[in-house]
Structure 1
């Protein structure tokens, strides 16, 4: 059969896109192909679980708008589907005069973004969080925590209830766009769709190249290494504890995060990964390394961030250095408190000039839309991002309403 839509990728953005496509077009047929045996195995399943309020983003920007909508819509989705979340709030903590001036600018930005914040001096901070050190802080009450894997599972139930198929173990090995459809070859099957949407995360550039598209960027994997605190230290903080962002650095830095399962993590750092999907500390994939080593943009971004990169690498190797980053906000932590936890890997799109791409990046053809970069906080913003993608798809080629029945073999694959 020829499906109306084929989604490549079973992370939260792919699922949200499928959900919004079917919401706007209830009679459509849709198949979602996921190469793993479960949903959200990579970026979605390794993030911090935070529902962000959007305080960091430029007022009026698309990221700010999507994050604000995402916070509301994610919570509403959780309420509708019985998914537990917790409005624990976030404290952005300044530890010196420079950070205090940046905190003031952040408070002004929050006002422009329509986010209510509470300013805490050192005494009020100490009263709110006795184990946190700082000279001042902003309290963002709306920030919450959730399991995004639970959100993914609920999204999958929604799209299946609307007639979609979710096919696991379907690694895409070929894509060919024709005048009337897109043919997608997996290792053991072939699929046809009038429209393809690729939300492939860590493999997004490869999937686009597989479709024969001109791809001028590359995904560079950056490991975010976390530690989990022991159970006896679970009450060390009541809120999420975040640093004041340094505009000169590409990543946010180490923070303390309460998780929905009751645990507390510290991290992440940001170090170059030597495997796109290898989560062990010394994971190495020769093909992945050879690919980014041949890419000029990789060397340019490494040179531009050399000092920061060396510090992050040192903290990755030597736990004492990592501990000092943590003790900046939480001086009561000890080295023995840093217990192992699986890392996450961020799919960082890098341009050929070495600049990190921090905005959306789409590659479109008459019958394909490839999401080559969905910037942080994509999990928080996934529902409005899915709606945005669905609108882009619907604005393209109209589909035929005459569809053959689904064959029984495809239903059981």
Structure 2
């Protein structure tokens, strides 16, 4: 079947085919709330003046078969500026699916459309999930690139809610949970569940942002409310998603004031544990573990299927869901370097780094404590970032995403 490609400048325009988009999104089994138009339009509104959005659509007759919103910006490597494309929603979208039902031939054709319409050095798609046991259609772009890389971003712990969750958790987590509950009861704090709507989401987000601002995330400037652009993005996105009944929050309140919270998104029976924060003076309560348990209890009552950590660090993750996980999901980052001079330069730098990295690791092993050599810029940009959803007792190693 012939495919017709089309470019749009906005996802939020009145004439954007929203119904066709939603049909495509729901047809892709691993779609997430971060693929929703509510989230993406909020991301679009938060774009800066030096970022350019272009949306590639592919039609098979009247059926939308591809929607790929790409943001072009200039990023510096080794002091030089290169044009880089990212999926709209980066870096705050924790997990996305590629919204495509194109076959291999038309997928290859789509890359040609992108290169003609949006010349670039690097096209990078972050936090992509993939159906288990299936090869991603993006593999078709590897041989068409001067350099291609598929790299694991993280392994996300997930918990399948089952009848066994009616029983108290076993082992060390049981005693940690019991101690946390005793401390919380002793200080008089209470756990509450909140399902905000579009009207109540704004005031609630302001309360949550006040908690984050005085937490270590606020001190380090790594929270979701830490700068004006991301704050607007989060406020617009969560207000729209709350209007669709997709937002869930569990909070710990003391004398009517929120002292700890977990913020999540719920779709198709899967709760994405997106963000948490707590007041530093109450860090010893262990509230994060209690609030995670509240997610599970809530899920039992309303027949959710999964609790996901949304995103974690690739290494040394301290997310409390590791104690309860029944499985893991992988996020991948795909990088496609073009045949333009900039793409050839960056791709060569990446291949050189892969060649030198084992030697550098062996040198470090033989010379512990010596200053480490600086990694080539081509790879430094791709270093795995850390998560927003770590345990409250983790050290402040997180980077803003």
Higher relative contact order, structure no. (Cα contacts within 8 Å, ≥ 6 residues apart): 1
Shared fold per TM-score greater than 0.5: no
| TM band (smaller chain) | under 0.3
- TM-score normalised by length of structure 2: 0.27
